[in-house]
Amino acid sequence: MVTPQRWERALAALPYLLVLLPALFSLLREWRPEVLALALFAAAWHWLVVTAHPAWAARRWVVIVYFAVLLAAIAALVRIDTVFTVTGVGTFLQCFALLPGLWAYAGVAVTVGVLVAARPADGRPPVELLASFVVGVLISCMAGLVFQTVSEQNERLRRTTAELAALAEENAGLQAQLLTQAREAGVLGERQRMAREIHDTIAQGLTAILTQLEALGDVPGAGERLATVRGLARESLAEARRSVHALRPVPLEGTPGFAAALSGVAGRWSRVSGVPATVSVTGDARPLHAEVETTLLRVAQEALANVARHASAGRVVLTLSYMDDVVALDVRDDGAGFVHEPGRSSGFGLVGMRQRVIRLAGSFEIETAPGQGTGISATVPAIPAAARS
């Protein structure tokens, strides 16, 4: 099968071959400088107008001048040696390549007329010359029709190939989008399953324990221990509910933005813990990918939970910083602090936060010392929010 690229290369080379090969045969039989000069001129003229400046073909007067000069050169060559009659084949192809519609057939007729008139008469009667003209026009038009058909087929093949390539690229994008959506749906489904499991087992069991302890009231001699048990049960229930809350990204739903969701989390935590927590935002806030916002929200929730449990802090400051290619969350308190040794795990909460951030190719840092408070910094790539169709 002839590909469009091969067809174009053959079509581009054919006019030169149909001029230079007859010239070679003619010069091998008899050396004539005028043949070499005219053949080189015809090839150079075609190169100048068609090959070097293809945009010139859009100008009608340029095409007319091109054919007039080319036919004059071919007529002179045919007058010298009839072997150059085959050069007219290249001119026929140029007629169909450069002239629109019926003008191409008119160009073929003119070319055949020039070739017939340029050949030495050799005593041939006018009827024979007319027959040669008619036969030449018919054969040339048939060849031109085949040429046009092949050209149109190659053009359709080119367009079809381009459309298929565009469809393949679009399908690849859609497949990637579907895979991403399937992954996100799977992650969300697993989180919801885990949330239901925690709610239906641990949380419900702790609620039942608390109910039974409240029903016991104060037992003589065991009041202090029962109070401790109640406290531990309430704390465990709060942790279970917080875990359920963390697995379901509710704070991100129905809010005008991630900063508002973060402020809501901080506000609720302050009301429960009694510790003031302020949120500040720097840079140009913009929607980010749901996984990025969820990760930072979970880091904030875990950090605040750690402050409530261990820090004995009087104040907490959360800073959300939007930068060009990353977004950072800093949570700092003025509490007791602790001894932190890099490279060693400092508790499940810190390990979980670090794992969440690293999973997004981010960085997680801890700054703390006994009596100097604690600072937690999470930096993740600022992946834009996924477009919704």
Question: In the chain, what are the domains?
Answer: 4-168 (no CATH), 256-389 (3.30.565.10)
Angle in degrees, CA 18, 21, 27, rounded to 5:
135
Q: What stretch of H or E contains 385?
A: none
In this predicted structure, what is the pLDDT of residue 374? 92
Closest by CA position to 340, among listed 313, 367, 316: 367
Average pLDDT by consecutive 10-residue portion of the chain (389 residues)?
58 77 85 88 85 80 85 84 78 75 74 73 56 55 60 70 77 69 64 63 67 66 66 68 57 67 88 89 89 88 86 92 93 86 60 85 90 92 70
- Residue 1 has which token pair? 């099968």
Q: How many C-beta atoms lie closer than 10 Å to residue 156's C-beta?
A: 11
Length of the chain: 389
Give yes or no for a contact between 63 and 121, defined as CB atoms under 8 angstroms apart: no
SS3 320: strand
In this predicted structure, what is the pLDDT of residue 99? 75
Q: pTM for this structure?
A: 0.42
The span from the CA of 79 to the CA of 51, in Å, is: 27
In this predicted structure, what is the pLDDT of residue 333? 94
The span from the CA of 232 to the CA of 239, in Å, is: 10
Give yes or no for a contact between 318 and 331, defined as CB atoms under 8 angstroms apart: yes
SS3 286: coil
Q: What stretch of H or E contains 48?
A: none
The span from the CA of 141 to the CA of 145, in Å, is: 6
In this predicted structure, what is the pLDDT of residue 389? 39
The span from the CA of 178 to the CA of 180, in Å, is: 5
